[in-house]
Amino acid sequence: MKILVTGSCGYVGTRLVPSLLEQGHQVVGVDTMWFGNFLEDHPQLTLLEADVRNIDDIPMDGVDAVIHLANIANDPCSDLNSKLNWEVNALATKFLVEKAIDSGAKQFIFASSGSVYGVKEEPEVTEDLSLVPISDYNKTKMVSERVLLSYADEIAIQIIRPATVCGYSPRMRLDLSVNILTMLAVTNGNITVFGGDQTRPNIHILDMIGVYHHFLAHPEFTGIYNAGFENLSIMEIAERAAAKTEAKITVTPSNDPRSYRLSSKKLLATGFVQKYGVDTAIDEVIELFKDGTLENKDEFHNIKAMKKLGLDKGA
């Protein structure tokens, strides 16, 4: 199968692309490479430094499926530049699905976000609950979902609402809850927790990759699916990291109201099997920091990297 992966050099893409190649797929990767490129050359990989906003630069000839990961990720980064956020996260998605249809692609897998639900009190947040996005980032994901579903009679649309991803990638992200709290534990011996009561669903990066493989193999499972398995408070995550590192925890006030849970029963009903978890991710970060593989670099914090590139001023 020939697969177009946007955001191929990102946190998830850097581990997804090699796994697709290992399965024998031909991959066309597209990425701005704002955060670098950690992918190795492969005879079945065509890697392009391109911006998804420039649809004429995105090759679709012979593409069977699109996995659309490219986005301005998370609330703080989206707030840096609202115009960039809407252009990349919403407008580019519309152009991509239209070009995919025109080119004869059969599947379009979209990485949305579990944060589209907003603040929810329900113990189980299922796919049929109302969406109440509270940030620009959430809104662009919600709009993209609705745009994509309007094309559902022309191409298999599979929308994934991931939880917060954790675990190691060569293009690491240390601005995600499990990863950064564990990194604070091993580098500072102290974990600063803002608030702590906020609940976040989590998914290990290898399970996230497994989800994309699962849907790629099952185009019949169309529609929207949550992907998250451990609903933990920020304090619970910090306590797990502290227990493995003997780090101390310092709690400070927070004005962050975001708290949500995910139920992935619909995903599990399709036959997907979770294999990894938060503890796996914590262990990975600790081990890889200790052996020198992982460092706390600015480029592993999206907002710092975007400011260095001047993307807060325009792009």
Instruction: Show Cβ contacts of residue 3 under 8 Å, excluding neighbours closer than 6 positions.
Output: 20, 25, 26, 27, 28, 63, 64, 65, 66, 67, 216
Tens digit of pLDDT for each residue in 274-302?
999 999 999 999 999 999 999 999 889 99
Which pLDDT score is estimated for 121? Answer: 81
User: What tens digit of pLDDT does each residue of 79-129 get?
Assistant: 888 899 999 999 999 999 999 999 999 999 999 999 999 888 888 899 999
57 Cβ neighbours under 8 A, 6+ residues apart: 48, 50, 51
Q: Which of 47, 101, 58, 65 is nearest to 214 (CA)?
A: 65
Output the pLDDT for position 6: 98
Give this prediction's pTM.
0.96
Domains of the chain listed by start with CATH number: 2-308 (3.40.50.720)
Residue 260 and residue 115 in contact, taking contact as beta carbons nearer than 8 Å: yes
Structure tokens at 231: 């609903």
Name 192's bridge partners.
Answer: 250
Q: Which residues partner with 252 through β-bridges?
A: 194
Q: What is the mean pLDDT of residues 158-172?
A: 97
Q: Could you give the dihedral angle defined by the CA atoms of residues 135, 168, 243 and 278, in that order, rounded to the nearest 10 degrees?
A: 60
What is the mean predicted confidence (pLDDT) over 68-74? 93
Element (H, E) at 202: strand 199-204
Q: Mean pLDDT score of the chain, rounded to an integer?
A: 94
Euclidean distance between CA atoms 259 and 226, whole angstroms: 16
Q: In this predicted structure, what is the pLDDT of residue 313?
A: 67
Does 258 have pLDDT greater than 80? no
CA 72 to chain centroid, in Å, comes to 10
- Supply the pLDDT for residue 167: 98
Q: Tokens for 64, please give them.
A: 């069977």
Cα-only R_g, the chain: 19
Local confidence band at 141 (pLDDT 50, 70, 90 cut-offs): very high
Q: Which of 209, 77, 98 is nearest to 140 (CA)?
A: 77
What span, in angstroms and rounded, lies between the C-alpha atoms of 9 and 78? 19
pLDDT tens digits, one per residue of 31-53: 999 999 999 999 999 999 999 99
Q: What is the pLDDT of residue 315?
A: 53
* pLDDT cut 90: percent of the chain above it: 84
**Residue 255 pLDDT exceeds 90:** no
Helix (H, G, I), strand (E, B) or coil at 159: strand
- Per-residue pLDDT, averaged over 225-232, amounts to 96
23 conformational bin, left if phi > 0, alpha if psi -120 to 50, beta if neither: alpha
Instruction: Work out the average pLDDT over 47-75.
Output: 96
Break the chain down into helix, strand, coil percent, rounded to 5. 40, 20, 40
Q: Are 14 and 74 in contact (CB under 8 A)?
A: no
Q: What HEC string does 46-84 produce? A: EEEECCCCCHHHCCCCCCCEEEECCCCCCHHHHHHCHHH
> Can you read off the two tokens belonging to residue 237?
């995550």
Tokens found for residue 42: 């492969």
